[in-house]
Amino acid sequence: MNRENNTNYLVIALSGGKLFKPSIQLFERIGIDLKGGKEISRKLTFFNEEEEIKFIITRPKDNPTYVECGAADIGIVGEDVLLEEKKDVYRLLDLKFGRCKMVVAALEGGKQEKYYKNNGHRLKVATKYPHIAGEYFKKKGIYVELIKLYGSVELAPQVGLADMIVDIVSTGRTLEENKLTIIDEIIPISAQLIVNRISYKTKHKRVTSLSQDIKKFISLESDKIAEW
Amino acid sequence: MNIPKGLNDLLPGEVLKRRLLENRISKIFTQWGYQEIITPTFEFYETLAKGAGSMMQKEMIKFFDREGNIIAFRPEMTTSIARVASTKMQLEPKPSRLYYIGNVFRYDDKVGNQREFCQAGVELIGVNSKEADAEVIALAVESLKNSGLRKFIIDIGHINLFNGIMQSIKIEEKRKQEIKEAILNKNFVLLEKILYFSDIKDEEKEFILKMPTLRGKEEVLEEVEKIINNELSMSALKEIRGVYNLLRNYKLEEYILIDLGIIRDFDYYTGIIFEGYTDYLGFPVCGGGRYDNLCSKFGENIPSTGFAIGLERLIMALEREDINSLNLERTEQYLLYYQNNEDNFKKALVVAKDLRKKGLIVELEVGKRKFTEVLKYARSKGIKYILIVDDKRLNKIKRVEVVSEKEEIINYE
């Protein structure tokens, strides 16, 4: 059997984008050589043949889909993706990197009350995360209209498309540059290690030893990881 | 023209495989004494909701009928069969052994967002014994084996193992609910956090975290027996052991693992539960278990157990294991081509009738095409022979093998 469809291989799905670099660093620190995968290239799969590991690079939002269907055994994905779309996967570890916050933000000078008080004006909220935003406002008892966008959400309040946005922020610089301030924090976000529900059973030994290695490393270096 | 999201047209090639699989499986069910039952495709929502947890209730596809009733498409078959068993078959001698092959419907199934898919399964109704549990598990193994699947494992567990532990832990109900939910959602990050802030013993915390990973042969039971001391969980372990020993007598232990971390989506299970896994799928290929209280929701209480196999999933697994596993040897196909006049037509009809009687597949040329065109058509359809009826030969017909174009004259009375 060749390595492309060898069921002995452990398939690990990495998220492209900002989680990619810290993910790679994580594997290197626990002693797994990623071979050709260090550079972001157009190639989406690479192998570590000694350890029988196949790495694949997915779009962050697609990551849990690969894991849920078993196309990958393990995935590294932001909690925001898991919160937005429920997937039937085991969530094993909080990896503590890729830290950011899911927040509500509005144009500068606004206070929460100003926005959350209903003055006969139905609030419009632009977001890439309609499910998370919807749940949040429902819990608060605030009736809003959600506008689903695919990116550059910060633009929406400036051009009058929305009153507020719900989005993830890490440094807050993008918000600042677009004259937005945080009016509430919904939930802290970080990268998570997820596992397919069958792989967790059938490849249990490999999955657990990997996750234990990672866990050990995280608890040792948790302060440094935050800086990644 | 489009069809609604999540539905599929099955083209002839796929149907052939599906029917082959259905035949292989229903043959085994029948040999084990199970009889086929057919229930309606949609029923009152109220009826089906009795067998579904809140998750499944949301997944049901519902509509209003003309009388204003809420109707739902069945999301699985067991509830319908439990309804029939306790309202229309109470007087039948027990046990009733029933099987079904039918389509079920859900919004956004986890695999590829399909809304209609096919399940084949059995229900063994009217007996609460470990022999009954072992029989349906053994039958699940035999069905998968006979479908052609070689590499698979059935994991068996028990619903009360976890229930017992949760009952014995002394913390407030709200916390318990949180723990249950975290386990149901398979969220260990959250589970660990909740346990960290819960006022329970360290051994208990450790065990709850470890439970989903406890899987193996008998040694798993021994390991857990040392830790557990509540009655409910103990009797669950005893039942697992009993069923496992019976399956050993069936000589099926190579297909069986004990798994204390099985979580099933349905609320109606009360005892032994099981799931089937293969290396080729990231989700179970079959699942089932004991449901002793479901029938009582419709009338008479009848203890029962059963399982269902997802046929689309099984086909996927079979083809990933061996791409040809569902390519059966097809009956040879003939095409009858006749020179265009009434006598030849009549003669062709007689020949066709004879060959069909012999069990061969024969199609008649109806397009008045030239022979070269017919040859091309036959080749692309995988037809083996073309038979030519013409004026030249009395009591003789020409047989052309499509691939080689080899001709042969055969006698025909």
pLDDT tens digits for range A23-35: 988 988 888 877 6
Q: Is A226's pLDDT higher than 60?
A: no
User: Which among B190, B213, B277 is the nearest to A202, CB-wise?
Assistant: B277
Q: Is B6's pLDDT higher than 50?
A: yes
Residue of A nearest to B210 (CA): A208
pLDDT on residue A159: 93
Q: Is A210's pLDDT higher than 60?
A: yes
User: Which among B187, B212, B283 is the nearest to A70, CB-wise?
Assistant: B283
For residue A4, give the 3-state DSSP assignment. coil
Q: Is A113's pLDDT higher than 80?
A: no
- A87 min Cα distance to partner chain B (Å): 8
pLDDT on residue A121: 77
pLDDT on residue B397: 87
Question: Is the preceding peptide bond at A64 cis, omega within 30 degrees of 0?
Answer: no
Q: Is the dihedral of CA B292, B294, B298, B304 positive or negative?
A: negative
List C-alpha distances in Å: A16 to A11, A174, B178.
15, 20, 33
CA B327/CA B177 separation, integer angstroms = 49
Between residues B396 and B88, which one has the greater pLDDT? B88
- Contacting residues of B for A95, CB less than 8 Å apart: none
- Contacting residues of B for A93, CB less than 8 Å apart: 188-189
pLDDT on residue B98: 97
User: Which among A91, A92, A198 is the nearest to B281, CB-wise?
Assistant: A198
- Contacting residues of A for B106, CB less than 8 Å apart: none
Q: Cα-flanking dihedrals φ and ψ of residue B260, to 5°?
A: -90, 5
pLDDT in tens, B341-396: 888 899 899 999 999 999 899 999 998 899 999 999 999 988 999 999 987 777 78
Q: Cα-flanking dihedrals φ and ψ of residue B294, to 5°?
A: -65, -45
- A157 min Cα distance to partner chain B (Å): 34
**A44 with A57: CB under 8 angstroms?**
yes
CA B347/CA B257 separation, integer angstroms = 63
The answer to whether ipTM exceeds 0.85 is no
Band of the pLDDT at B21, cuts 50, 70, 90? very high
- A interface mutation test: which of B186, B257, B258, B263 has the most A CBs within 10 A? B186
Tokens of A75: 């995935």
Q: Is A68 on the interface with B (CB under 8 A)?
A: yes
CA A103/CA A65 separation, integer angstroms = 25
Judge: A198–B110 Cβ closer than 8 Å, yes or no: no
Band of the pLDDT at B180, cuts 50, 70, 90? confident
Q: Is A118's pLDDT higher than 70?
A: no
Q: Is A228's pLDDT higher than 50?
A: no
List C-alpha distances in Å: B99 to B39, B103, B135.
11, 13, 14
Element (H, E) at B316: helix B311-321
- A27 min Cα distance to partner chain B (Å): 20
pLDDT on residue B111: 67
**Helix, strand counts (H, E) of chain B:** 14, 17
Which 188-217 residues of chain A touch chain B by CB within 8 A? 192, 196-202, 204, 208
Strands A90-94, B304-310: pairing kind: unpaired
Which 103-162 residues of chain A touch chain B by CB within 8 A? none
pLDDT on residue A1: 40
pLDDT in tens, A179-207: 999 999 999 999 999 999 999 888 888 99
pTM: 0.86
pLDDT on residue A78: 95
Judge: B188–A92 Cβ closer than 8 Å, yes or no: yes
| Count of CA atoms in the C-beta half-sphere (13 A) of B278 | 24
pLDDT on residue A37: 60
Mean pLDDT over each residue of chain A, to the nearest integer: 86
Q: Is B201 on the interface with A (CB under 8 A)?
A: no
Q: Is B328's pLDDT higher than 90?
A: no
Q: Is A91 on the interface with B (CB under 8 A)?
A: yes
- B interface mutation test: which of A69, A193, A201 has the most B CBs within 10 A? A201
Tokens of A7: 């069921």
Which range is most confident: A74-78, A174-178, B164-168, B318-322? A74-78
